């Protein structure tokens, strides 16, 4: 079945759409892959985080430094920031109308997510290395 | 509008804006999925801040610790728990839909209620059990 076409304007050619939006199938696929990875990681993380957020620094550091915890944390953080960017991208594509503003917004989103992932993952690695 | 290219962008319809819908369980839960996702994304930055403070040293960690143990920090953590469990449960509902299962309207209503129940159950479990 063919999807209904938009009578007001021809659909843009792939090169005409914002470059970020090319590869919708790939986006869809990675959103699901990261979602499935996040199912067990999120359940673990919420319970663990609520247990440790009030810890004194030494105790929290000792918790993060355990190899299993550090590994799960890194997996969770990577999947979290990746999935978060993919989701925010879809929301921006739905509600930011001009191609130029969309491009700027998506670059800003990318930068914020990359920075967040860098700080979070870098901090875990730094604790492990200590 | 000077060019066809520009017109193609400006006249393409956006997703329906929220206020044109009569709220229904299905649409409200769908919007909540997005809203909770945005809140989790913002919280991820706070989480990065906590980890950064933890790795950074005592003075920074004192601030982070003080924030998350204050009533406001606890309230944020509670909302984060609700949003995360909701997004998790409703995300699983979406994955089941992706498999082509449970798409009948009556089933969608039922699974929506199960999601809300599971969200509350998991949140209570995480905070008070």
Question: Could you please report the per-residue DSSP string of chain B?
Answer: ---HHHHHHHTS--SPPGGGSPP-HHHHHHHHHHHHHHHHHHHHHHHHHHHHHHHH-HHHHHHHHHHHHSHHHHHHHHHHHHHHHHHHHHHHHHHHHHTT-S-SHHHHHHHHHHHHHHHHHHHHHHHH-
Q: Which residues of B touch A32 (CB under 8 A)?
A: 95, 98
Does B124 reach chain A within 8 Å, measured CB to CB?
no
Query: What secondary structure letter does DSSP report for A53?
Result: T
Beta carbons of A99 and B9 less than 8 Å apart: yes
Whose tokens are 């550091």? That residue is A61
Q: Do A119 and B48 touch (CB under 8 A)?
A: yes
Q: Is the pLDDT of residue A15 over 60?
A: no
Residues in chain A closer than 8 A to B68 (CB atoms): 53-54
Give a three-class secondary structure readout of A62-82.
Answer: HHHHCHHHHHHHHHHHHHHHH
Closest CA relative to residue B65, chosen from A5, A57, A58: A57
Residue of A4 and B46 predicted with greater confidence: B46
Distances (CA, A) of A80 to A40, A75, B32, B56, B110: 12, 8, 18, 22, 28
For the cut 70, the answer to whether the pLDDT of residue B10 exceeds it is no
Q: Please judge whether A95 and B14 are an interchain contact, meaning their C-beta atoms are less than 8 angstroms apart.
A: yes
Please state, in angstroms and as integers, the Cα–Cα distance from residue B121 to each residue in A106, B116, B127, following that order. 36, 9, 10
From A34's Cα to the closest Cα of chain B, the distance in A is 11
Q: Which of A7, A9, A32, A113 is the best substitution to test chain B (most B C-beta atoms within 10 A)?
A: A9
B126 touches chain A (CB under 8 A): yes
Q: Which long-range contacts (CB under 8 A, 24 or more apart) does A14-23 make?
A: A16/B5, A16/B8, A17/A99, A18/A93, A18/A99, A18/A102, A18/A103, A18/A106, A19/A103, A20/A89, A20/A102, A20/A103, A20/A106, A21/A89, A21/A93
Beta carbons of A57 and B61 less than 8 Å apart: yes
Cβ pair B115, B96 in contact under 8 A: no
**pTM for this entry:** 0.86
| Alpha-carbon gap, residue A73 to A125, rounded angstroms | 10
Residue B113 C-alpha, separation from nearest chain A C-alpha, in angstroms: 19
Enumerate the residues of chain B whose CB falls inside 8 A of the CB of residue A124.
51, 55
H-only helix segments in A1-130: 24-52, 57-65, 67-95, 99-129
How far is B13 from chain A, CA to nearest CA, in Å?
A: 8
Tell me, what's the ipTM? 0.86
The answer to whether the Cβ–Cβ distance between B51 and A95 falls below 8 Å is no
pLDDT 10s digits, A92-126: 988 888 889 999 999 999 999 999 999 999 999 99
pLDDT tens-digit map of B24-45: 899 999 999 999 999 999 999 9
Confidence of residue B1 (pLDDT cuts 50, 70, 90): very low
CA pair distance B29, B116, nearest whole angstrom: 9
Q: Is B23 left (phi over 0), alpha (psi -120 to 50) or beta?
A: beta
pLDDT(A14) > 60: no
Counting Cα atoms < 13 Å in the Cβ hemisphere of A34 gives 19
Nearest-by-Cβ selection for B44 from A8, A61, A80: A80
Give the residue from chain B lying closest to A7, CA to CA: B12
Radius of gyration (C-alpha) of chain B in whole angstroms: 20
In this prediction, residue A73 carries a pLDDT of 98
């Amino acid at each position: 079945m063919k999807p209904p076409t938009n009578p007001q304007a021809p659909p843009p050619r792939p090169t005409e759409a914002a470059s970020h939006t090319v590869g919708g199938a790939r986006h869809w696929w990675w959103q699901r892959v990261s979602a499935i990875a996040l199912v067990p990681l999120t359940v673990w993380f919420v319970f663990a985080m609520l247990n440790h957020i009030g810890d004194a620094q030494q105790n929290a550091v000792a918790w993060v430094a355990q190899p299993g915890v550090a590994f799960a944390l890194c997996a969770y953080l990577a999947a979290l920031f990746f999935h978060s960017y993919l989701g925010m991208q879809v929301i921006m594509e739905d509600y930011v109308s001009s191609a130029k503003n969309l491009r700027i917004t998506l670059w800003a989103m990318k930068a914020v997510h990359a920075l967040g992932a860098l700080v979070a993952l870098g901090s875990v690695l730094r604790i492990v290395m200590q | 509008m000077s060019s066809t290219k520009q017109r193609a962008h400006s006249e393409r319809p956006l997703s329906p804006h929220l206020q044109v819908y009569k709220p229904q369980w299905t649409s409200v839960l769908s919007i909540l999925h997005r809203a909770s996702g945005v809140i989790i994304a913002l919280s991820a930055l706070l989480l990065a801040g906590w980890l950064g403070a933890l790795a950074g040293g005592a003075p920074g960690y004192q601030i982070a610790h003080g924030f998350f143990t204050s009533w406001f920090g606890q309230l944020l953590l509670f909302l984060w728990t609700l949003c995360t469990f909701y997004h998790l449960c409703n995300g699983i509902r979406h994955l089941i839909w992706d498999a082509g299962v449970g798409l009948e309207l009556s089933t969608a209503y039922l699974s929506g209620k199960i999601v809300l129940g599971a969200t509350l159950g998991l949140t209570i479990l995480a905070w008070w059990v």
